[in-house]
Every structure is written in C-alpha cells, then in structure tokens.
Amino acid sequence: MKVYLAQMKPHLGVVEKNIDEMVKFIERAIEDSAELVLFPELCLTGYLLEDLVYDLASSKIPKELLELSKKVSIIFGGVELSNDFYVYNTAYYLENGELKGKHRKVYLPTYGMFDEGRYFKSGDSIKAFDTKFGKIGMLICEDAWHQSSHQILAQDGANYIFVLTSSPARVVRENLEIAHSWDSILKSSAICNSVYVAMCNRVGVEDGCSFWGGSSVFEPSGKQLLKMNYFSEDMKLVDLKVDAVKRARFSSPVARNEKLDLILREFNRINTTSDN
C-alpha cells in the first residue's frame, strides 16, 4: 500500500479553505500514484476551536473528498455532529466514493492547555475494519498514548494503524522531547503488535500554540521508514508492504500468543476491586 502523508497547516475555523488545501494534497498524491492519503487530526477545521465546534460540527462528508476518494483512499479528521446532536472529534476513512469507516476519539485530553472534554463527547469503541487493503485501525492523538488502544486494534485483525494528531510543542526547536516520546510510543506499538504504525501530525500556529509536525512511519520490525520535517508543511510517499507484517508475525509471534482471556479476567478483577 502506497501511503501519502499530508503534513498540512489547517486554517482555524475556515473549512472551505482547508478543503481546498486538502484537495491540492490529494491531487498531488494521485499524480504520485498513492493509494491512500493520511491527514492530521481535525485538519478540516483546525484544532483550538473552543465554542466554534458547535458552528462547524457536521454530519456530512465534503463532496470534494468523496469524489476524490474514487481515485485514492483518504483518512482525515473533522468535527462530527451525530444524529442525537453530540459532537465528536472524528477520523474518517473514505474509499471508492463512500464513507467506509470512522473512529471517534476515545481519550479526550482535558488538562494543561487541552480542553477537549469540555466541547467533545468521548467515543466508546476502538475497532478495526475492512478496506481494500485489508483490515486497518485508526486512532486520534491521545488515544495512541494508551497502549491498550493499539493492542485492541491488532487483536481485532488490523495490519496497519493510522494515527491522526494535532500535537503541540512548548518550544520551537529541532530536538523535541515530545517528538522522542511519540517515536517511542509508535515504535513500541509496531514491534509488540507486529503492525505498521503511521502517524500524521499537523503544523502551523493557533493562538500562539505551535504544532511541530514530524510525522513518522514505523514498520513491524520497529524500523522507522519515514520522518518528516519539523514545523513546516511536508508531503511524503511511503510503501507499506504486507509481507513485512507476515514476516514479523512468523519471526516473533508475541501478538499471536497474547492471552486475551487472562487480560480480560485480570482487568475485570482490577475494575471490580479498585476504589478509584
């Protein structure tokens, strides 16, 4: 699968302009024979929305993206308005002109500079789903900091995990502690679950907050296949070969040998006896 990572700079609250920018990335991806385009979290709207979420939330997929998905599959992030009028931070998967899958962000950071829990409703499921490339899974930013999220997707049959992020940096410099933390998380998931893990982060500045980019891809062996620029828009094509998943699972059957019944039993014990 040839995946094009579109490390873009969304415009806060200006959906039509963001769609135009996304179309440019997608058209370039098609020219480069990509099969899937991966965008960042909330690329359709920008991140620090606060009360704007209620104005920008939508139950509709932009028709421009649906049309282009007939030529290349697309993963992107936006603000979803559900049928019962809840608002979610959602990742969408488009294929052959249709919405084929979506993931609602489960873990909403509400600490420090983050205030997502005030505006969004938390998703209540983490599932892999079928695509023309086989089973894949999607996570959104904070979801990926919980290793259980990755494990659930891998045990549900995903060969590829795609992570959409809007990760900020406290300082603007090349040697970023947050970037090292992200690389450690992604590499660990790839190795322990024998999957590809691709993370697309955004760039740009919103209300004085800088987003650092540095999008990356790890293969099941833990090798980093791709590392993109910090603090500037970037676009890169990477080939994810399913044979690498097969080799990893043959040589190190850690994920296959996972004792799910034990995990469920022990977590249930902890959950029923915990005072927290």
pTM score:
0.97
Whole-angstrom CA distances from 60 to 82, 120, 211, 266 are 10, 17, 27, 41
- pLDDT tens digits in sequence order for the chain, 276 residues long: 999 999 999 999 999 999 999 999 999 999 999 999 999 999 999 999 999 999 999 999 999 999 999 999 999 999 999 999 999 999 999 999 999 999 999 999 999 999 999 999 999 999 999 999 999 999 999 999 999 999 999 999 999 999 999 999 977 766 689 999 999 999 999 999 999 999 999 999 999 999 999 999 999 999 999 999 999 999 999 999 999 999 999 998 899 899 999 999 999 999 999 776
Query: Which CATH number belongs to the domain containing residue 267 in this structure?
Result: 3.60.110.10
Task: Please write the tens of the pLDDT for every residue from 176-189.
Answer: 899 999 999 999 99
Residue 142 is predicted with a pLDDT of 99
Number of domains in the chain: 1
How far apart are the C-alpha atoms of 145 and 60, rounded to whole Å? 29
Residue 268 is predicted with a pLDDT of 96
39-51: buried (b, 16+ CB within 10 Å) or exposed (e) per residue? bbbbbbbbbbbee
Q: Please provide the distance, in angstroms rounded to a whole number, between the alpha carbons at the two ends of the chain.
A: 44
Pair of tokens at residue 46: 């920008």
Residue 262 is predicted with a pLDDT of 97
Task: Please write the tens of the pLDDT for every residue from 61-81.
Answer: 999 999 999 999 999 999 999
Tell the residue number behind the tokens 């019944």, with chain if given: 261
Q: Treating both helix axes as pointing N-terminal to C-terminal, what angle do 177-193 and 147-155 enclose, rounded to 10 degrees?
A: 30
How far apart are the C-alpha atoms of 140 and 109, rounded to whole Å? 11
Residue 194 is predicted with a pLDDT of 97
How far apart are the C-alpha atoms of 201 and 7, rounded to whole Å? 6
Tell the residue number behind the tokens 């799910």, with chain if given: 260
Residue 73 is predicted with a pLDDT of 99
Range of the domain at 229: 2-273
